[in-house]
Structure 1
Amino acid sequence: MQLMEKVAMLTRQNETFALAMIIESKGSTPRHVGKMIVYRDGSIEGTVGGGLAEYYVIEESVKAIRNGQSKIVEYKLNKHAKDGISMNCGGTIRVFIEVYTNRPELVLVGAGHLGYAMAKLADFLDYPYCIVDDRVDYCTRERFPNAANLFVNENIGKALHEANLNENSYVPIFTKDCDDIALKTALQYPCAYIGMVASKRKIINIFEKLKREGITQEQLDQVHSPIGLEIGSETSEEIAISIIGEIIKVSREKKPIKVKQLNK
């Protein structure tokens, strides 16, 4: 497989990695062109020339992945030059490190009007998403043709368990009448984001109920409810924009929900 084909495949798989590419070289260097995929653990595919310069590029690529920011680095391959590295080639290389970050994976819990609006916005943003609901007539491929998966069960907790929530799951909850079950289920997983559409009174009632069932206040403090950024939204489409805006903000912070295991 060609290296750029692998980049395309990793992008489709929603992986996080960096692509290091020589963009300029002067004088004697191991290579004048070269590309290299760098993963979060420092493993690589391809090369930008090997040796100490490549070691530094890998190191900087891993840092760039952690920070979520692309960068350009430059190395003088001359141990006698000021700011040079311990190599004897004598030339200079500049390398562009492009970071590919994984997109939020949306788990839309509720297939009604707001779930439909969220799915349309996810389509536009090219965010992967699945739909979870307890109604077979709402959670359909006709309504959500681009959803990665549809999880339907009359017990919405079971449907949500089937979604295999993980550290990259962003879970906005807006069910017909079982937000408490969905929230309790989601809090058993290390999700990146959990939010719930609810009035202040409903939030108090659900939180008190879940605390009696073993959910801690620390867990509940991490739930985004009222959900979404405060932009004065009213329609389903406007609320969807406010929720996606909040998810984008949280995705830059990468702080997973803490989990307390409960009996499922």
Structure 2
Amino acid sequence: MFKVSSADGTTIAYDRSGSGAAVILVGGALCDRASTAPLAQQLSKHFTVVSYDRRGRGDSADTSPYSVAREVEDLGALITALGGTAAVYGHSSAAALVVEAAAAGLPITKVVLHEPPYGPDDDASQRESDQAGAKVNSLLAQDRRTEAVQEFLTMAGMPPAAAADLAAQPGMAEVAPTLAYDFAVMDSAGPGGRIPFGLLAKVTQPALAVCGSASPPFMIDSARAVAKALPGGRLVELEGRHHVVPPEVLAPVLTEFFEA
């Protein structure tokens, strides 16, 4: 494990493996660096790969109050530690964080956005999303962490029984407060979690949007719209795959893109 200090002094923990051009993997909601480690293992055959704990997770520290800009600075500190440039992969809500970072001008060479969960633009969908998010944040405010995780997973489309089982797993209660951070990232990119077309227009790096054909329809729609909105964007749809893709399936897609 390595550590780097972000601009506000927060310590960010990361693992580094492989050699070659730098690639940073950014995990989504409820994920720490262990979540991206299997993908890192696959990619490290070709690249120098970093998996890290976003602030408030795992071995990384945290500093109040939370700010999306501080998370962008965390990513910037990692890029500096890797020599000054890196390609960046973001999964789910972390894809929205990568959009923020790339649009802010961080020295990112290539961008991969894996199913950013931007919501539909209609008012009914926005109200439903806002209400669900408010319920999760309310549960967190009451320190009802397991219930907050279960509510979030159900909101994301997981069957209630499976959501309850996963929410009760070790470590979930500890990382639950960072759900509020992911909601902040999504709302920062576009009010109500809408697709931030203006922000995407500022992402001028070569960019790849990825989705699975078996994922929730709104995530597929989001990936398609994002690919069209990115100035240098293209889309890869993985046939029969869900929101979480086995690393041995995903790694060749990313390798091809990063090496092109």
TM > 0.5 fold call: no
How does the TM-score come out when normalised to structure 2?
0.40
Higher normalized helix content (fraction of residues) = 2
How does the TM-score come out when normalised to structure 1?
0.39
Larger Rg belongs to? 1
Which has the bigger relative contact order, CA under 8 A and spacing at least 6? 2
